[in-house]
Amino acid sequence: MALKSTIYKAALQIADMDRQLYADHALTLALHPSETEERLLVRLLAFALNVPPDDHRGTLQFARGLSDTDEPALWQHDLSGQLLHWIELGQPDERRLAKACARAERVTLYVYGSAAPVWWAGIRHKLARLANLTVWQIPPPQAQALAALAARSMQWQLTVQDGQVWLSSGDALLELVPQRLMGAPAP
């Protein structure tokens, strides 16, 4: 019998001063049996940092990611079905990223984990030709602190200003500073 996903609920209140975005989102996330809580919460953070201010060009949605190799962690399609934004997590190979860049207008990768610097050192030159790729690193201690906030029911208040993210969850307050490794900042 196959293992089932674990369901997490998240209520997000986002105040992103960098993008002039102020929004509330009620989300249901499925933790794949092979996924860690750290990856799940990096996925949730990626949603908060990339959600569009309106749905005129479609909405940002959680994709099957780990369950389907042809899908990312998150993506945004416009109303005609064209793939606008592909958001990947972890340390994929350059072929996967090149394929994503060929399919989408914009590709964003969030790298996390202690092996990220070694992975980046080996791949960064191979990715230089991908003009529509932006790579961010969540420093390992920050990603681990983020994972410690995992709960089946979460209420997050996120404030983003000057590239810094302050996340409040219950009594916990966490400061995250994603580091841009490559590409232009989000529009």
CA dihedral 114, 116, 122, 126 (to 10 degrees): 170
pLDDT of residue 179: 96
pLDDT in tens, 43-60: 999 999 999 998 888 999
pLDDT of residue 2: 65
For the cut 70, the answer to whether the pLDDT of residue 109 exceeds it is: yes
The residues, any chain, with a CB within 8 Å of residue 7's CB and separated by 6 or more, are 28, 29, 30, 31, 152
For the cut 60, the answer to whether the pLDDT of residue 187 exceeds it is: no
> Of 34-43, 66-75, 101-110, 163-172, where does mean pLDDT reach its minimum?
66-75
Which residue has better confidence, 13 or 34?
13
Instruction: Report the candidate in 53, 94, 62, 57 with the shortest Cα–Cα distance to residue 77.
Output: 57
Residue 70: band (very low, low, confident or very high) from pLDDT cuts 50, 70, 90: confident
Other residues' Cβ atoms within 10 Å of the Cβ of residue 136 = 20
Query: Span 92-115, mean pLDDT?
Result: 96
Do residues 181 and 120 touch, judged by C-beta distance below 8 A? yes
Task: Catalogue all structural domains in the chain, each as residue range(s) with its CATH number.
Answer: 6-11+29-153 (3.10.640.10)
Return the axis-axis angle of helices 94-103 and 116-127, rounded to nearest 10°.
50
Prediction pTM value: 0.94
* E strand or H helix that includes residue 112: strand 106-112
Tokens of 1: 């019998």
pLDDT of residue 182: 96
CA 28 to chain centroid, in Å, comes to 15
CA atoms in the 13 A half-sphere facing the CB of 94: 12
Q: Which amino acid is at 43?
A: R
